[in-house]
């Protein structure tokens, strides 16, 4: 009688190029006992690759990205990146912290976007492989000095990736500061569950009927809007492309979906916020987070000249679900605070859960 051999989760480390400053970058390949595989590089704490099975048992890489380091050095689309200190936008590139006005680089019109020109996505992180009987992982750490990109306080950050035998990719963030600062970390992976083509035929379900609408500068107006029955309503699963070209003011501002969905839930509660199914491959991706919301972005501005991993990208080549606090929260007191004081520890968790339907 044959005996089934169950492979233990493994982490392998390989070179992934050298930065212009001479820092050697490594790729950490996490493999679970199903053969699901995630690759994380310690430049930008980036999720470089994520291979999951389809309904026929065939593996494919379902995140957009590049095969080599050089394109990640600029990475204007933020493929796979860990975003910090502050994900999304801060209006007019400034906010008040402890009674003092801080000014940040305006790198998105008049907005400060994704932590600035050298945010966490452009940093070299320290990395350590970890594994146990149920998961393979890598723990990345970064010390962001006082004044980094204009932010106050020395911030010590930990970003953990754990790929479990339950086909969950768990991402955890913790951070501490020695001076009051703001923080809003997220992951900026773009998913395409069929690997090639657009994501317009992916079925998406979002169990929230609330959204924070934006003004012409893509900043939340301060309103929490009921979106029942609008093109933004995904409470019943529908394709991403069904209403993306609808005659809707918010869709025109974002050139598609580029908006923050809002959830009423307790702080720190891990809950389902989005579920996507790709009918042809049968792949299903469910996303859980402790954050109060997420930014849905449908790749509206991915350039047609962009390519990687043997694929040609372009508009709608991938979609992002970026768990986070409300954009521009430091300037919008009606939303939950993103302040972090020296007495506090920042924590955040998200989970990508993979499955298939026949």
Enter the tokens of residue 280: 């042809």
β pairing state of 238-239 and 181-182: unpaired
Active site residue 259: no
Cα 267 off chain centre by: 19
Exactly one of 188, 202, 259, 325 is catalytic; name it: 188
Q: Which residues pair with 49 in a beta bridge?
A: 39
Active site residue 188: yes
Angle at 338 (CA atoms; ends 101, 155), nearest 5 degrees: 80
Instruction: Report CA-CA distances (Å) from 145 to 37, 179, 181, 322, 348.
Output: 33, 11, 12, 25, 21
Strands (E), 194-345: 203-205, 210-212, 225-226, 238-239, 258-262, 271-277, 283-289, 293-297, 307-308, 311-312, 320-324, 339-340
Exactly one of 160, 162, 322, 325 is catalytic; name it: 322
Sheet holding 135-144, edge to edge: 126-131, 135-144, 155-164, 168-177, 346-356, 283-289, 271-277, 203-205, 238-239
Active site positions, annotated: 188, 322
């Amino acid at each position: 009688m044959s005996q089934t051999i169950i492979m233990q989760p493994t982490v392998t480390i390989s070179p992934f190029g050298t930065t212009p400053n001479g820092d050697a970058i490594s790729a950490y390949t996490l493999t679970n006992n199903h053969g699901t595989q995630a690759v994380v590089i310690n430049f930008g704490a980036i999720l470089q690759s994520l291979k999951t099975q389809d309904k026929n048992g065939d593996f494919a890489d379902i995140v957009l990205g590049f095969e080599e380091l050089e394109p990640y050095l600029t990475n204007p689309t933020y493929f796979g990146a860990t975003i910090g200190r502050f994900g999304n936008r801060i209006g007019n590139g400034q906010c008040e912290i402890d009674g003092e006005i801080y000014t940040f680089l305006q790198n998105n019109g008049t907005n400060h976007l994704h932590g600035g020109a050298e945010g966490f996505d452009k940093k070299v992180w320290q990395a350590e492989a970890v594994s146990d009987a149920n998961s393979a992982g890598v723990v990345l750490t970064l010390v962001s000095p006082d004044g980094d990109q204009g932010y106050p306080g020395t911030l010590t950050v930990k970003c953990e990736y754990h790929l479990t035998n339950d086909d969950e990719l768990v991402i955890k963030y913790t951070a501490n500061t020695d001076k009051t600062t703001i923080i809003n970390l997220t992951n900026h992976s773009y998913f395409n569950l069929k690997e090639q083509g657009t994501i317009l035929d992916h079925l998406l379900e979002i169990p929230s009927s609330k959204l924070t609408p934006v003004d012409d500068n893509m900043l939340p107006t301060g309103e929490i809007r009921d979106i029942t029955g609008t093109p933004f309503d995904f409470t019943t699963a529908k394709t991403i492309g069904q209403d993306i070209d609808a005659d809707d003011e918010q869709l025109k501002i974002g050139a598609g979906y580029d908006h923050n969905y809002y959830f009423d839930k307790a702080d720190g509660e891990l809950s389902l916020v989005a579920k996507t199914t790709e009918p042809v491959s049968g792949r299903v991706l469910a996303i859980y987070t402790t954050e109060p919301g997420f930014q849905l972005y449908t790749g509206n501005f991915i350039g047609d000249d962009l390519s990687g991993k043997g694929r040609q990208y372009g508009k709608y080549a991938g979609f992002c679900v970026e768990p986070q606090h409300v954009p521009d929260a430091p300037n919008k007191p009606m939303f939950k605070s993103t302040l972090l004081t020296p007495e506090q520890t920042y924590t955040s968790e998200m989970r990508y859960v993979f499955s298939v339907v026949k």
